[in-house]
Amino acid sequence: MLRRLVFLVITLLGASIVVYGALFLAPGSPVAAATQGRSLSPVAVKLLEQQYGLNKPLVTRYVDWLGGVVHGDFGSSIVFSEKVGHLLTPRLAVTFELVLYGAVILVLFGILLGTLAALRGALDKLVLFISTVGIATPSFVGALVLISLFAVKLGWFPSLGAGTGVGGRIYHLTLPAIALTVAGTMGVARVTRTSVILELTRDHTDTARARGIAPGGVLRRHVMRNAMVPIATMSGTVIANLFIGTVVVETAFGLNGLGALLVSSVLDKDFAVVLAITLILATAFMVATTVTDLLALWLDPRLRTEGTR
Amino acid sequence: MSDELLRIEDLSIDLPIGGEPRTVVSELSLAIGAGEAVGMVGESGSGKSMTAKAIIGLLPRGARTSGKILFDGTDVLGLRGAELRRYRAQSVAMVFQDPRAAINPVRTIDDFMTEALRDVRGMAAPAARAKAVELLTEVSIGDPERVLTNYPHELSGGMLQRVMIAAMVAQEPRLLLADEPTTALDVTTQAEVITILARLREQHGMALLFITHDLDLAGAICDRTAVMYAGGIVEEQGSAEINEHPRHPYSAALLRCRPSLSQQGGRLAAIEGQPVAAFEAPAGCRFAPRCEYAQDACRVAVPALRPVGGAMVACIRAEELGPLTLLDDTPVAINHATPRQPAEETTPESAATQALVTVTDLRKEFALRGGGRFAAVEGLSFTVKAGGSLAIVGESGAGKSTVARMLMGLERPTNGTIMAMGEDRSGPAHGRATRLRRASQIQMVFQDPYLSLDPRQRVGEVLDESLRLHKRMTRDERRTRVAELLEVIGMSARPAASVPAQLSGGQRQRVAIARALAAEPRLIILDEAVSALDVSMQAQILNLLTDIRERTGVAYILISHDLGVVNYLTEAIIVMRRGEVVEAGDTGTIVTAPTEPYTQRLLACVPRPGWTPPARQPLALSPTAPSA
């Protein structure tokens, strides 16, 4: 566990350095974004640069920023003239709810579709076809299709905004969550299908059948239980990647989440905001993969004693 | 028979192979009485496993059957759903070949043992657990409470197979199907499992269908033996009688071709050709192409199984041939495998140059997880002379494979020296030239020819690659040499363009041997090189190895647990146990008069005619040392 923590810190440090450097090298200036195209006197620009420390050398700025982070201060946004903490808190909720909702859809439908495909020969070809299309569809295309069909044509779901209250949230986030997870769900469905088919033909499944265990019991305790190991690994990896997918989906659905903010902040070169979001997404990604590893360890006792044989 | 339990009538099974239904069992009939033990003996493709699967309703999807399998008068081939489940839960149980695959790896032994009792019998968890403990004790598991909390991967193969048997007996079946239950185990563990199986059968009054490729093993545990070839029974007789007086040429050939503890060197009476499945067999008697007694009349129709002199035999010449003798007509040259070098050459000086490999005080340690070290090999010394042969025997975990890996340079010894062909090989090989020279001098043939050949490489390419690596030859020279090598391994008729998938296990092993020969090595390490082969294939390969040694003067180090094979092929032997040498010396002497209790025990466990597994002794505990 400690090793994982150290690894997390090192990864975050590395990520922040890369992002800092990339932002620095990219064209454009934060001041220009903050002033929104109005021309300022050179004195005013100097003043602004001084206020946000933009006149210091890159390394010094980075070290200053890092010192702040260690003390829980992520700095201020140039564009919004607000503390990053204040700016991000409400958006954090939107993004995490979106990912959580997506994860539920992903696991539920992925496993359901995959299992059905494995068990019912007739459905197999259909699921394979749908999953190929699903995996090949980029999420922004999926988002546009969903909006035009369910929001514009049918009017079942709203196309913009995050809604209020629990019901409103779920209602508003349904289309974005689907758009976010189409490819992932199909990936999980495929892994589920393959593992279930494999476990169905294993000797130990035959042993269970040979002992007169009912099909339900065989499926639950032997086929699905054992197939869960690869399914959990796949789901965890896909869920971790959903955080990255929010960047596109939130923009497409006009959701005020971290992903959408990241896009605009990058364009504005709003250093503090970009860095904070990067760190949050990277942490979330690493936590998700760690949870996945632990889950696999819990599901498969053989992994726990690896190396003794 | 009034107490008949199972009656198979004209059973045929077609499996979809390559998109077409192919017959693997053809009009098979067999009866098993209540409490009777019947052995079913045959090589791969004979249909013995499929017959067992049909009995318990586990045929693969798409299988088609005809005929009947009557259990207590009910045709079980027609059972579906709840009826089939009740039949499986109450009447039959099956022990599979590989317990590691047949027991769910992610559930505890407790779950495995009690699942059927709770789920099918509706027993409460404590009662089911108590029954599990009782049965684990019955299969001689010392600490059942602890074993119940283990996962399968934490137990040895022998332990797992005992757990498997206990779990099956817990269901109190009237018929137990055992499909090669000891093939994956050491000889000593095999003897234990056989003893347990025999005892439990008696105590619980179960009938047993024991599937094996070993007639002696069937003889040790069964009342009656049915020999199968290409999907049908060719002979059925009392187990003791068939092993002494087989009446079908195939049964006799199977008994003759096995290396025994009394034959050293010479040629084995191998059966020509390959074992085939029913759908590959020619018209008429399916064994005819490989039968030394075959006549034109044999090729007309499939001979029916009919009573001949107290046995059931499917051979039109059965009366005429009578009981077949096991001593073959072909003269057996005694001990012509012993010293290749004329005695006068063994002056002290030439003895030193003759020593091909000298290993001194070899030790190999591995780090254990969680600290500590474990010696896989300790204090091992031996010499192999040019053209000589040495066997390394022992149970799994004895360190045999570690020795082979060190000789190959795949592992480095922790201590001690390996001198081979005048070069110290204890250290790593520096540079391509040294590496290639070392590799070409010592070649290896692995146990599993299905894994040791690249499935995409054609036979000719396999050999050509070895020649390109180790020999300076032009393309034409290589082509000639490949043809020569194919000739040596008896596969010149086979085009060099065939890929491994088109070859049988025996043919693949021939290719692996040819690949080793291509480098013109001084020494070939045979790591269980014939263990995975069918009995008739094994005899062919052993004869081939003998021929090759005579032609090329190559030396062998044979790693094996089969003392019959060891005795046949080697002059010197090292018996290892948990990394240490127990006994070493002349193979013939040690096999006939072992002095160490461990070697005696090992020998007592080797199945042979009229053999019964020896009583359990403290030494028989399954090896607990982790395998390297």
SS (H, E, C) B420-441: ECCEECCCCCCHHHHHHHHHHH
How many CB atoms lie under 10 A from the CB of residue A98? 29
Q: Do B387 and B571 form a contact (C-beta atoms < 8 A)?
A: no
Other Cβ atoms less than 10 A from the Cβ of B589: the count is: 12
Average pLDDT, chain B: 85
Residue with tokens 């191998």: B270
Sign of CA dihedral B440, B442, B445, B446: negative
- A107 falls within a domain: yes
**Is position A277 within any domain?**
no
Mind listing the pLDDT tens digit for each residue in A102-137?
999 999 999 999 999 998 877 888 888 888 888 887
Residues of B in Cβ contact (< 8 Å) with A309: 153, 626-627
Residue A203 neighbours by CB distance under 10 Å = 17
C-beta atoms of B90 and A204 within 8 A? no
Chosen from B80, B153, B156, B172 to mutate, greatest number of chain A CBs within 10 A: B153
The number of domains in chain A is 1
Instruction: Say yes or no to pLDDT of B233 above 70.
Output: yes
Round to whole Å and give the CA distance between B218 and B494: 36
Looking at residue B526, its pLDDT comes to 92
Report pLDDT for B626: 40
Find out whether B504 and B537 touch, Cβ atoms under 8 Å: yes
**Contact call for A206 and B58, based on CB within 8 A:** yes
Contact A302 B151 (CB under 8 A): yes
pTM score, whole prediction: 0.82
User: Taking CA atoms, what residue in B is nearest to A214?
Assistant: B85
Q: What is the 3-state secondary structure (H, E, C) of A20-86?
A: HHHHHHCCCCHHHHHHCCCCCCHHHHHHHHHHCCCCCCHHHHHHHHHHHHHCCCCCEECCCCEEHHH
Chain A residues within 8 A (CB-CB) of chain B?
202-204, 206-214, 217, 221-222, 225-226, 229, 299-302, 305, 307-309
Mean pLDDT along residues B219-225: 92
CATH number of this structure's domain B343-620: 3.40.50.300
What is the distance between the alpha carbons of residues B145 and B148, in angstroms, rounded to a whole number?
5
Residue B342 CB: number of other CB atoms within 10 A?
7
What are the backbone dihedrals phi and psi of residue B36, each rounded to the nearest 5 degrees, phi first? -90, 145
What's the average model confidence in pLDDT over A243-264? 87
Give the tens place of pLDDT for each residue, B516-566: 989 889 999 999 888 878 888 888 889 888 988 988 889 999 998 888 889
The answer to whether residue A309 scores a pLDDT higher than 60 is no
Q: Are B101 and A308 inside 8 Å of each other by CB?
A: no
Q: How many CA atoms lie within 13 A of B423 on its CB side?
A: 15
**Residue B134 CB contacts under 8 Å (≥ 6 apart), including other chains:** none
Q: Which of A202, A207, A304, A305 to mutate to test the interface with B (most CBs of B within 10 A)?
A: A207
Q: In terms of Cα–Cα distance, which of B208, B265, B271, B187 is closest to B234?
A: B271
Look at residue B619 in the predicted model and tell me its pLDDT. 43
Could you tell me which residue, A155 or B289, shows the higher pLDDT? Answer: B289
Q: What are A64-91's pLDDT values in tens digits?
A: 888 888 887 888 787 787 888 888 888 8
Across chain B, how many H-helices and E-strands are there? Answer: 23, 22
Kindly provide the residue ranges of all beta strands, DSSP E only, lying in B72-201, ordered along the sequence. Answer: 74-75, 92-95, 175-179
CB contact under 8 Å between A209 and B115, yes or no, is no
φ and ψ of B392, to 5 deg: -115, 115
Structural domain contains residue A132: yes
Q: Is there a contact between B106 and A302 if contact means CB atoms under 8 Å apart? A: yes
Pick the residue from chain B with its C-alpha nearest to A299. Answer: B106
Partner-chain contact A225 B627, CB within 8 Å: no
Q: How far apart are CA B528 and CA B526, in angstroms?
A: 6
Q: What average pLDDT does chain A have?
A: 84
* Contacts B107 to A, Cβ<8 Å: 221, 225
Query: Using the beta-carbon criterion (under 8 Å), do A212 and B101 form an inter-chain contact?
Result: no
Q: Give the lowest-confidence range in A20-24, A50-54, B370-374, B556-560.
A: A50-54
Cβ <8 Å between A301 and B153: yes
What local confidence, expressed as pLDDT, does residue B87 receive? 92
Could you tell me which residue, B353 or B417, shows the higher pLDDT?
A: B417
* Highest-confidence segment of A44-58, A270-284, B284-298, B504-518: B284-298
Is residue A303 one of the residues assigned to a domain? no
How does pLDDT run across A153-199, given as a tens digit for each residue? 887 877 777 777 777 788 888 888 888 888 889 999 999 999 999 99
Which amino acid makes up residue B14?
D
Report the pLDDT averaged over residues B581-600.
90
- Tell me which chain A residues have a C-beta less than 8 angstroms from the C-beta of B94: 207, 210
Q: Looking at the complex, report in whole angstroms how far the Cα of residue A295 sits from the nearest Cα belonging to chain B.
A: 13
Beta strands in B457-539 (DSSP E): 523-527
CA distances A55 to A30, A47, A49, A52, B479, Å, are 12, 10, 6, 8, 75
Q: Do the chains contact at B104 and A222, CB–CB below 8 Å?
A: yes
Across-strand partners of B66?
A: B12
Asked if the structure places residue A256 within a domain, the reply is yes
pLDDT digits (tens, 9 = 90+) for B259-269: 877 777 778 88
CA B298 to chain CA centroid, nearest Å: 31
Count of CB pairs separated by less than 8 Å, A with B: 87
What are the pLDDT digits (tens) for B346-378? 444 454 457 889 999 999 888 877 777 888 898
Q: State yes or no: pLDDT of B624 exceeds 60.
A: no
Distance CA A225, CA A219 (A): 8
More confident site: A53 or B478: B478
Task: Sort out which chain B residues have CB atoms less than 8 A from A199's CB and list them.
Answer: none
CB atoms within 10 A of CB B488: 18
Q: Where are the beta strands (DSSP E) in B172-324?
A: 175-179, 207-212, 224-229, 232-238, 306-308, 311-313
- Please tell me if residue B58 touches chain A, with a CB cutoff of 8 Å: yes
Provide, as residue numbers in chain B, all residues whose Cβ is less than 8 Å from the Cβ of A220: none
Contact yes or no for A225 and B106 at CB 8 A: yes
Say if the Cβ atoms of A211 and B107 lie within 8 Å.
no
B248 residue type, one letter: H
CB-based contact A308 B90, cutoff 8 Å: no
| A138 lies in some domain | yes
Residue A163 lies in a domain: yes
Answer yes or no: do A302 and B171 touch at CB < 8 A: no
Q: Is residue A51 part of a domain?
A: no
Report whether pLDDT(B340) > 70.
Answer: no
State the average pLDDT over residues A18-43. 73
| pLDDT band for position B490 (cuts 50, 70, 90) | confident
What Å distances lie between residue B384 and A239, B236, B381, CA to CA? 60, 46, 10
Measured distance CA(B234)–CA(B213) in Å, rounded: 14
What is the distance in angstroms between the Cα of A183 and the nearest Cα belonging to chain B? 30
What is the per-residue pLDDT for A255?
A: 85
B309 half-sphere exposure, CB direction, 13 A CA radius: 18
Could you give the CA distance from residue A17 to residue A11 in angstroms, rounded to a whole number? 10
pLDDT for the residue numbered A34: 64
* Length of chain B (residues): 628
Alpha helices in B25-120 (DSSP H): 48-55, 81-90, 99-102, 109-119
Q: Which of A37-41, A303-307, B64-68, B377-381 has the lowest mean pLDDT?
A: A303-307
CA distance A114 to chain B (A): 20
To probe the interface with A, which of B58, B104, B149 has the most A CB atoms within 10 Å? Answer: B104
Could you tell me which of B481, B488, B562 has the C-alpha nearest to residue B526? B562
Q: Helix crossing, B125-138 with B157-170: angle to 10°?
A: 120
- Please check whether residue B366 touches A, CB under 8 A: no
Cα-based distances in Å from B535 to B127, B185, B251, B441: 45, 17, 12, 30
Strands of B415-420's sheet, edge to edge?
Answer: B373-385, B355-367, B415-420, B423-424
Tokens of B134: 């009782």
User: With an 8 Å Cβ cutoff, are B58 and A225 in contact?
Assistant: no
Q: What is the CA radius of gyration of chain B?
A: 26
Quick check: B329 pLDDT over 50? no
Q: Does A212 sit within 8 Å of B116, measured CB to CB?
A: yes
Query: 3-class SS at B141?
Result: coil
CATH code of the domain covering residue A230: 1.10.3720.10
When pLDDT is cut at 50, 70 and 90, the band that residue A305 belongs to is: low
- Secondary structure class of B276 (helix, strand, coil): coil
Which B residues in the span 122-151 are in contact with A, Cβ-Cβ below 8 Å? Answer: 151
- Strand positions, DSSP E, B474-551: 523-527
Count the neighbouring beta carbons within 10 Å of the beta carbon of residue B44: 18
* CA–CA gap between residue B26 and residue B300 (Å, rounded): 17
Please tell me which residue of chain B has the smallest CA distance to A226: B106
DSSP B601: H
Residue A32 has pLDDT above 50, yes or no: yes
- The DSSP-derived string for A237-304 is HHHHHHHHHHHHHHHHTT--SHHHHHHHHHHHT-HHHHHHHHHHHHHHHHHHHHHHHHHHHHH-HHHH
Do residues A98 and A104 make contact, with C-beta atoms less than 8 angstroms apart? no
Q: Which of B92, B101, B119 sits opposite A213 (nearest CB)?
A: B119
Parent domain of A207: 93-268
Interface test with A, best of B106, B108, B180 (most A CBs within 10 A): B106
pLDDT at B346: 43
* Residue type present at position B80: R
A307 contacts in B (CB within 8 Å)? 369
pLDDT at B627: 38
Structure tokens at A148: 């035009």
B56: nearest CB among A210, A217, A299: A210
Chain A contact set for B116 (CB, 8 A): 211-213
Beta-bridge partner residues of B581: B576
B574-586 per-residue burial string, b: 16 or more CB within 10 A, e: under 16: bbbbbbebbbbee
Largest CA distance in chain B: 79
For residues A209 and A212, give the distance between their C-alpha atoms in angstroms, rounded to a whole number: 5
Domain ranges of chain B: 343-620
pLDDT, position A33: 64
The helix or strand, by DSSP H or E, that contains position B12, with its residue range, turns out to be strand B4-17
Minimum distance, in Å, between the CA of residue B89 and any CA atom of chain A: 4
Distance CA B490, CA B492 (A): 6
